[in-house]
Structure 1
């Protein structure tokens, strides 16, 4: 008898707490999103049907599923933040969020998550917002399959596409970001993954890391940004299978590494960048099986870098393979393929019998006097480079690959 009463009581409690679905739209009794959110309880689903909703700042402060059907438009009318998430375990899916306000002090966004956990933002389209999606002090949040478009012209007049601050255990997956200051921005973010995103035509960086340790970014495309990626003041970062392409400009890099340590850069492609990789204050980084193709400079390694290892990479058609601003070399280069190598392989083991010096005399001269680029491809410079390879006098003797490969690696 007690068991039966217990079951009846449990069923009664469940029925009282059962989740409900609240539809919103012109054809339903509830026509305003804010009215539906006021009615909703934790675990409910608010379904917003197609239409244009101009309700100012919409705040989700309950653990609900917030779902758009037939592409409803949340229009901020350039007055403020469009959607604010202030509850844990919220799902935001299927909306078009447009025209947030523009301000330098309060950073209005298309979607902003305030100090919450397990929030999912997926399959949304955001356009003409100051910041796109902003995670503030969040954890275990997922940003997936969103398209985030802006039309910024100057970096001080536009925010970032995906901006994450003081957060942990984030997944940023399969988003397309265009036209913002930085496509993706991490500051004080740990143990997070950036995977399969496309970040293009952003004013400053496709991806910007600051003080963010133990993260990974994998299989992303960073193309035609002011600069590709900047990783600064960071340690223990894994960078795998990314493409850095056509990031051109006086100060443009495919990948900028500044004050970074204990990281692994594996199987990336650097194609047609002004400088593919620029290292300053970088230490204990392993670069393996990357392709450097048709860049101005494949790598600029400043004298402040040490204990970095460059192994099994392909250097193809770069104007300069390596450049540096000092004479002390504390990094190692082993078993790379250099298309400028002119050595021989008498024992046919696939490794050149003569070591290769990837740092050319002209690269040293250009680093010290950029205006000397006017002499590029001149007969005099070609003659000087050939002489330097025979009798090195200016380039550091230990800037050397002792086992250069005779054939490029099939990467």
Structure 2
């Protein structure tokens, strides 16, 4: 009987073991299947899973953890490596333990397509080539929406790697560079990243890394914001914000030629180190345009550069130089910049030749322009210099300067100051208007006219009997070295400048032949029947800080080169502008901080903007002809104004109103406005058993956030529009009731319809397929391949022992 008992026990145990392995095999298969059973028509992140590693190396040439073929067998990677189905690594956290020579993820010798997104990278090694992510000889990658912080090396490092994109990452507190694009890495796109508090450069582009595109990044509190150096050609930098970087906002050096820097914002760079917002040395053919430089130590500093262009930029309150051109720089062009409140507007220093400085505006600087130290053959023309201490200064053996077609107005010391050691300065067709001292001339070789045309002087005491526009007697230049303008320009009507805070106030203006009246409501000052033509490099009429009553009537106004307003009003009230014609100016009427103006029955055309109101209120704009302009009415931070019965036809934009309220628009005639395109980008998606949350961003073509008037959402044909929450500035979140599908089943349809003023209706539809098993797992670290959950294995082992124990117990009891 004992033999039979043992036999029964053995048979029972074998059966139990067979059942155990059957269950185990089924459970493992089911567990692995749950990991991948995630059907979808649109890519949805597996946000319910995450993995923690020390480091990972994918190398297509051997070594490391394995190749992409190996990687795709792991839970944290999916895809096939094609352009339409790239390999994807996501939801990984890597702490590389600070070991020298170790990066978080290294990808080597790879040419397939891949995406690395929604990961965290910390504590890489401290070698200069270590990083959170390191690409070596690797192309076709996208690094997106990751966090790179507190690495001992770089945030991201690329070497000999091309056609990669770095998008929407947060990169901060790394001990080297935020992003290091090194050695022969071409066609790299770096866009919409936030890069700050890195010990060296926010972005460094180095050694033969051509055609880098750096767009729309926020870069602050680094050593340099962006630094491009050592033969890196054709970089394109646009719409980046460079703020409070210790050395420079952007730097170029060592023959990094042919780059374009446009539409960037520079603020408070180089303050503690006396450095500029933008610096270039030994670099040629740069195009620097449409940037804003504000409160930097210097705005732009160019050293030993050739054939560079600086144009259409704003320089506001930079401490020392707005633009500094120095040391053997030649053939550079500085055009159409607005420069206010620096010590030097433009400073050309130390053997710089053949510079053209034209069509710039210099306002309230210590020096508008200075040419110094053996800098010869430079041309300064068509500039507007207003309220500087010294408008133009040439000094220190700088010869053969041509100064022509400029307007120099109300300088507090000298309009022009010519050093005694500067030979052959040629000045003609300039307009010297009410400067404290028009000219200080230290060199007798200065020439004050060219052939038969000299300059205009508001202190000219001669006459023009034959009415040929040239004064009949010469104008003497009385200074250290006397001179003579033999052909002074004689005009009956110069541009008009009135400022109640200066000596050129209404009391002064009332003594001029072109003003009548006393400035009261009953007897306003009147400027009428005047023609001010485009020979003037200034606003035709400029009135500032006035509360007197005045009328501008029946005047015809234009300005030189369409770069100044026809009428400029600042801090003005109680004015009437009526029955006047204003043409070919930058802005027809430009009113800032003004109230109680009446602008009526004027003909204003062929401008950038016909009428501009900024921070103004209680004004009436009516019955004007504002046809054939780029913008008819531009209204910014202006309230309770009335715009009635204006004709605004054949314009690119009829009425642009920003940050304004309670304005009345009535019976204005505009062209139909074409609707603009609206876009939607999904930012984040979270799926749990309780809720589906989808965050999305509504924006225009330039990624400006757009708040919608209405959003309609159908989720599985049910209206869920009330489940949309606005996060502000175009960001929204949808909260949906979960609907799950099984493997191979069709996804659940979601449809969005978005309406907003001025844009075409945007419709978006997709199917979302979420396997319930994929969202119920809570995996903090990646389990070993083939492992099963501890809870399941424990239950099975306990069950096995229970079965065997029961058999033994009952067999003993029976026999």
TM norm. shorter chain > 0.5: yes
Partner of 1:394: 480
Unaligned runs of 5+ in 2: 1-78, 96-102, 125-130, 416-428, 443-474, 495-534, 539-559, 564-815
Q: CA deviation at 1:202?
A: 0.4
2:114 equivalent among 23, 45, 48:
45
Q: CA deviation at 1:46?
A: 1.8
1:326 equivalent among 389, 396, 416:
396
Q: Deviations over 1:133-154 (max 9, x none)?
A: 000021111111111010xxxx
1:171 equivalent among 221, 232, 236:
236
1:242 aligns with 2:317: no
Partner of 2:378: 308
* Compared CA separation, residues 114 and 394, structure 1 to 2 (3 A): same
Q: CA deviation at 1:35?
A: 7.5
Q: Deviations over 1:107-163 (max 9, x none)?
A: x2000111111111111110101211000021111111111010xxxxxxx621110
- Mapped partners of 1:144, 1:292: distance in 2: 30
Residue pairs, 1:1-400, within 5 angstroms: 18-19=82-83, 20-26=85-91, 31-32=93-94, 38=107, 41-49=110-118, 52-56=120-124, 57=131, 58-61=133-136, 62-69=138-145, 72-77=146-151, 79-86=152-159, 87-101=161-175, 108-115=176-183, 116-129=185-198, 130-137=200-207, 138-150=209-221, 159-165=223-229, 166-180=231-245, 181-187=247-253, 188-203=255-270, 204-248=275-319, 252-258=320-326, 259-280=328-349, 281-326=351-396, 329-340=399-410, 360-361=439-440, 391-394=477-480, 397=483
* Compared CA separation, residues 398 and 36, structure 1 to 2 (3 A): farther
Whether the aligned pair in 2 keeps the contact of 1:356 and 1:402 (CA below 8 Å) is no
Q: CA deviation at 1:244?
A: 1.5
Partner of 1:6: none
Q: CA deviation at 1:301?
A: 1.2
Whether the aligned pair in 2 keeps the contact of 1:360 and 1:395 (CA below 8 Å) is no
Partner of 1:383: none
Unaligned runs of 5+ in 1: 1-14, 102-107, 151-157, 344-350, 365-388
Q: Secondary structure, in 3 states, of the residue corresponding to 1:225?
A: coil
- Mapped partners of 2:374, 2:439: distance in 1: 20
* Compared CA separation, residues 339 and 353, structure 1 to 2 (3 A): closer
Whether the aligned pair in 2 keeps the contact of 1:303 and 1:329 (CA below 8 Å) is no
Whether the aligned pair in 1 keeps the contact of 2:376 and 2:398 (CA below 8 Å) is no
Whether the aligned pair in 1 keeps the contact of 2:439 and 2:479 (CA below 8 Å) is no
TM-score by length of 1: 0.74
Whether the aligned pair in 2 keeps the contact of 1:22 and 1:36 (CA below 8 Å) is no
Q: Deviations over 1:331-365 (max 9, x none)?
A: 1111111113999xxxxxxx67989998744x98x
Q: Deviations over 1:294-342 (max 9, x none)?
A: 1111011114111111111111111111223336641111111111399
Whether the aligned pair in 1 keeps the contact of 2:107 and 2:135 (CA below 8 Å) is no
- Mapped partners of 2:269, 2:487: distance in 1: 36
Whether the aligned pair in 2 keeps the contact of 1:175 and 1:198 (CA below 8 Å) is yes
Partner of 2:35: none
- Mapped partners of 1:178, 1:324: distance in 2: 34
Whether the aligned pair in 2 keeps the contact of 1:52 and 1:74 (CA below 8 Å) is yes
- Mapped partners of 1:275, 1:311: distance in 2: 17
* Compared CA separation, residues 126 and 52, structure 1 to 2 (3 A): same
Q: CA deviation at 1:36?
A: 6.4
Q: CA deviation at 1:76?
A: 2.7
Whether the aligned pair in 2 keeps the contact of 1:205 and 1:227 (CA below 8 Å) is yes
Q: CA deviation at 1:224?
A: 0.6
TM-score by length of 2: 0.39
- Mapped partners of 1:192, 1:41: distance in 2: 29
Whether the aligned pair in 2 keeps the contact of 1:85 and 1:113 (CA below 8 Å) is yes
- Mapped partners of 2:486, 2:373: distance in 1: 15
Whether the aligned pair in 1 keeps the contact of 2:211 and 2:233 (CA below 8 Å) is yes
Whether the aligned pair in 2 keeps the contact of 1:163 and 1:186 (CA below 8 Å) is yes
* Compared CA separation, residues 132 and 317, structure 1 to 2 (3 A): same
Whether the aligned pair in 2 keeps the contact of 1:228 and 1:244 (CA below 8 Å) is yes
- Mapped partners of 2:89, 2:487: distance in 1: 66
**For the pair shown, which has the larger CA radius of gyration, 1 or 2?**
2
Greater displacement, 17-26 / 401-410: 401-410
- Mapped partners of 2:386, 2:433: distance in 1: 18
Q: Deviations over 1:158-214 (max 9, x none)?
A: 621110002101111111111111111010211111111111100110100101011
- Kindly report the root-mean-square deviation, in angstroms, between the aligned alpha carbons of the 2 structures: 3.4
Whether the aligned pair in 1 keeps the contact of 2:405 and 2:430 (CA below 8 Å) is no
